[in-house]
Structure 1
Amino acid sequence: MDSHFLGIAELAEAPPVAVVVDVMRAFTVAAWVFAQGAEKIVLAESLDEALELKARHPDWMALKDGPLAPGFDMVNSPGMLRSADLDGRTVVQKTTAGTVGALAVKEAELVLCAGFVVAEATARHLRTHGPDSVTFVVTGEDGQADEDLACAQYIARRITEAETDASEFLRRAGESRAAAELAQGVRLGVHPDDVALCQELDRFPFAMVARLEDSLMTLRPCPVLPG
Structure 2
Amino acid sequence: MDTRFLGMADLVDVPSVAVVVDVMRAFTVAAWAFAQGAEKIVLAGSLDEALALKASHPEWVALKDGPRAPGFEMVNSPGLLRSVDLGGRTVVQKTTAGTVGALAVKEASLVLCAGFVVAEATARLLRTRGSDSVTFVVTGEDGRADEDLACAQYIAGRATDAGTDAAEFLRRAAQSRAAAELIEGVRQGVHPDDVALCLELDRFPFAMVATSEGPLMVLRPHAMPSPAGAGRPDLP
CA offset digits 1:125-146 (Å, max 9, x no partner): 0001001110000000010000
User: What's the CA shift for 1:119?
Assistant: 0.1
Aligned with 1:157: secondary structure? Answer: helix
Report how far residue 226 of structure 1 moved: 2.8
Structural RMSD (CA): 0.6
After superposition, give the CA deviation of every residue in 1:58-100 in whole Å (9 maximum; x if it has no partner): 1100000000000000000000001000000000000000000
1:209: which partner in 2? 209
Partner of 2:69: 69
Q: Does 1:58 align with 2:58?
A: yes
CA offset digits 1:106-132 (Å, max 9, x no partner)? 000000000000000000000010011
Inter-partner Cα distance in structure 2 for 1:133 and 1:104: 18
Counterpart residue number, 1:177: 177
SS at structure 2 position matched to 1:142: helix
Q: Which residue of 1 aligns with 2:146?
A: 146
1:161-210 Cα offsets, whole Å, 9 max, x none, are: 11111010000000000000000000000000000000000000000000
Quote the offset at 1:215 in angstroms: 1.2
Match of 2:161 in 1: 161
Render the CA deviation track for 1:2-55: whole Å, top value 9, x for unaligned: 110000000012201000000000000000000000000000010010000010
Q: Which runs of 5+ in 1 are unaligned?
A: none
Gaps of 5+ in 2: 228-236
Instruction: Provide the secondary structure at the position in 1 that maps to 2:202.
Output: coil
In 2, the alpha carbon distance for the partners of 1:164 and 1:191 equals: 31
Please state whether the residue corresponding to 2:142 is helix, strand or coil: helix
Find the counterpart in structure 1 of residue 104 from structure 2.
104
Q: What are the residue-to-residue correspondences of 1:74-153 with 2, within 5 Å?
A: 74-153=74-153
- 1:168 partner letter: E
Q: Aligned AA for 2:4?
A: H
Aligned to 1:203, what secondary structure does the other structure show?
coil
Equivalent residue for 1:197? 197
Tell me the distance in 2 between the aligned counterparts of 1:80 and 1:5.
Answer: 31
**Which amino acid in 2 is paired with 1:191?**
H
**How many pairs does the alignment contain?**
227
Corresponding residue SS for 1:219: strand
The residue type paired with residue 214 of structure 2 is D
Query: What SS does the aligned partner of 1:225 have?
Result: coil
Match of 2:31 in 1: 31
